[in-house]
Amino acid sequence: MTGSSSSDRENDGSKQDWLDSRLPVRRFLTTQFRSFPMPRSASMLWTVGAMLSAVLVLMLLSGLVLAMNYTPTVAGAFASIEAIERRVPSGWLLRSMHMAGASLFLGALYLHLFRGLYYGSYKKPRELVWLLGLLLLVMTMITAFAGYVLPWGQMSYWGADIAGKALASIPVIGPFTERVFLDGSQPGDGTLHHLFVLHFTLAFAIVAVVGLHVAGVHVAGSGNPSGVEPDRKGSLPFSPYFAIKDAFGVAVFAIVLTAVMFLFPDLVTESANYRPANPLHTPTNIEPEWYFLPFFGMLQAIPFKFGGLVASVGAVVVLFLVPWLDTSPVRSARQRPLIRLSMILLVAAFVALGLAGQHHMEGGWLIIGRCATVFYFFHFLVVLPFVSRRERAVVGDAS
């Protein structure tokens, strides 16, 4: 028996060596995941990436089934959604999973972005990791908007209409851009077809960019809450120490997703969107999903449409410039009191913009929205460069 088991192990080893010499998958996984060094001080915020990866797989699988039963036409879109929920086996569950997953995915993505800003994950040598992460954010937002329009309910239709009018406010090329986006003068069959193809294609493009993002992390190494590049003594292998943390984070995310789906579905759905689109009846309160509300607030805070469009788009564009706006040698906000205070105010401004957007900038909310918009850009364009110069000078004097 001993000789037989020993022979089996040798055969298994020879098979693995044969495969690994031709397609080194096992060697790659061992090097890049099992033995990958992680800083000892990495907190639970470092598990958000695993949560995003897990829910992305869930979104792709549920989205494929939904796409097989969806009809991208004005006459058939809403009816096909109804058929999915009532006739497709477990269709209601798949759609609930897809909607709740999209909402929580954006929430986790914002948290991941905040972690990068707070701990300086955009600094050398991780600039490309940061830029790829922001590209993922933009692609996800476009995909989410397209998915919001596809059910062709009341809010879907008027959301597409508002987006078209915002594009029309661009000087010179605005009317042309609106016609291209809507495939006409108002949302219709062409709009649905464009957005369905965009939604489906971008979903798989996101997977490719996620692969590049993860590869960038494994080349540059993982960041550290303390802002100090970890050495061998300050690192631990990814497995089992951080694999367990990631598994725990994914389990918590699954519990939250299940709770939202079954106990709090109103958090990710709008009752108006359960009515078919009616171009002749404008809803009293038109507002996007919660994850777009801060940008919707900026759109409303500026008294003219094009200015609001520039502000809302600029709020994302300025994030791409952060590695060059913040040139301080100090990474983490833990060691930067002014940046830490400004980051707290930045989060407050972002939340205030979302609330102001939800209240359609009426009364005092208009003042709050404008002040929050000003501070958002003040943090990136004034605070970061000013503090960076000050810290560089201090470090230079000390050396």
Residue-wise pLDDT for 23-68, tens only, equals 776 776 676 677 777 888 788 888 999 999 999 999 999 999 999 9
pTM of the predicted model as reported, rounded to 2 decimal places = 0.90
pLDDT at 223: 80
pLDDT at 304: 85
**Confidence class for position 168, pLDDT limits 50, 70, 90:** very high
Could you say which of 161, 246, 270, 391 is catalytic?
Answer: 246
Residue 245: active-site member:
yes
pLDDT at 397: 57
Could you say which of 80, 103, 222, 332 is catalytic?
Answer: 222
Could you say which of 218, 226, 305, 360 is catalytic?
Answer: 218
193 annotated among ligand-binding-site residues = no
Other C-beta atoms closer than 10 Å to the C-beta of 306 total: 14
pLDDT at 187: 93
> What is the DSSP code string of 153-184?
BHHHHHHHHHHHHHHHTSTTTHHHHHHHHHTS
pLDDT at 218: 83
**Cα separation, 168 vs 176, whole angstroms:** 8
> Which one has a higher pLDDT value, 321 or 393?
321
Q: What is the mean pLDDT of residues 121-137?
A: 93
379 annotated among ligand-binding-site residues = no
Residue-wise pLDDT for 130-165, tens only, equals 999 999 999 999 999 999 999 999 999 999 999 999
Residue 359: active-site member:
no
Amino acid present at 188: G
Q: Is a pLDDT exceeding 90 seen at residue 396?
A: no
199 annotated among ligand-binding-site residues = yes
pLDDT at 265: 87
Could you say which of 161, 287, 289, 391 is catalytic?
Answer: 289
Hunting for tokens 């009846």 — which residue is that? Answer: 281
Q: What is the mean pLDDT of residues 195-220?
A: 92
359 annotated among ligand-binding-site residues = no
Other C-beta atoms closer than 10 Å to the C-beta of 235 total: 18
Q: Is a pLDDT exceeding 60 seen at residue 99?
A: yes
SS3 content of the chain, % helix, strand, coil (to 5): 75, 0, 25
> 327-345 burial, b if ≥16 CB within 10 A, otherwise e?
ebebbbbeebeebeebbeb
Domains of the chain: 43-223+236-286 (1.20.810.10), 287-399 (1.10.287)
pLDDT at 93: 93
213 annotated among ligand-binding-site residues = yes
Mean pLDDT (the chain, rounded): 88
Could you say which of 80, 96, 161, 245 is catalytic?
Answer: 245
pLDDT at 37: 77
Q: What is the mean pLDDT of residues 86-98?
A: 93
> Which one has a higher pLDDT value, 12 or 17?
17
Q: How far is CA 356 from CA 107, 282, 297, 364, 370, in A?
A: 18, 21, 6, 9, 9
According to DSSP, residue 326 is labeled -
pLDDT at 240: 81
Q: Is a pLDDT exceeding 70 seen at residue 5?
A: no
